[in-house]
Structure 1
Amino acid sequence: MPIPITANERGFHQYGDDVATTYGEKVAVYESSAAKGPHCWLRIFDDGRSQVRYHQGASIAAHLNVEQATAIRDRIDAWLNEIPTRWATV
């Protein structure tokens, strides 16, 4: 099934819904506004329900099972697949 692509208020795309991970983090894949692109963001959200406790300045990781990793891969693939139409110079 194709990943739904939505645009934010500035016209940049988010690829699918956030992916909930094994320990409660959520991962989002979305298009960057970087002028020299294409780039995408892989954002990891910890809303305080994660089983992992982070401290200030810590890196945040997402613990993925195969299904979750596949869902994130599919979102990155959706971004990669639309690069030729969104970045004419690539």
Structure 2
Amino acid sequence: MVDEDGEVTEGEVVDGLPVVTERADVLEESPAGGALSVPGVQAAALAATGFVAGACTVAVVKRHRTKKAAKKRKKAGPLGEIVGSNSFLIDVHLLKRS
């Protein structure tokens, strides 16, 4: 151990025995009167949190796509929306027939 002055001191050795209880620590009484396991409650909370996070992600992505589509419709020209365009360099050769 290190004390306040920064000097290393010996640690205290403590002898002890484990204390066994009659009831397991992982079981707690639920408000309904039954026993709930803490890992089960944690798993349920984790699943609910994951579901809510996924639902929020879907809502945000959907809203983003809707806004993007509305912006595209607004920018459409007089002939409609241009979906894609390509430009080509054309080299035309005239051939002499014999």
Question: Higher helix proportion, which one?
Answer: 2
Q: Which has the higher contact order (CA 8 A, sep 6+)?
A: 1
> What's the TM-score bracket when you normalise by the shorter of the two chains?
under 0.3
Question: Higher strand proportion, which one?
Answer: 1
> TM-score normalized by structure 1?
0.25
Structure exhibiting the larger radius of gyration computed from Cα positions: 2
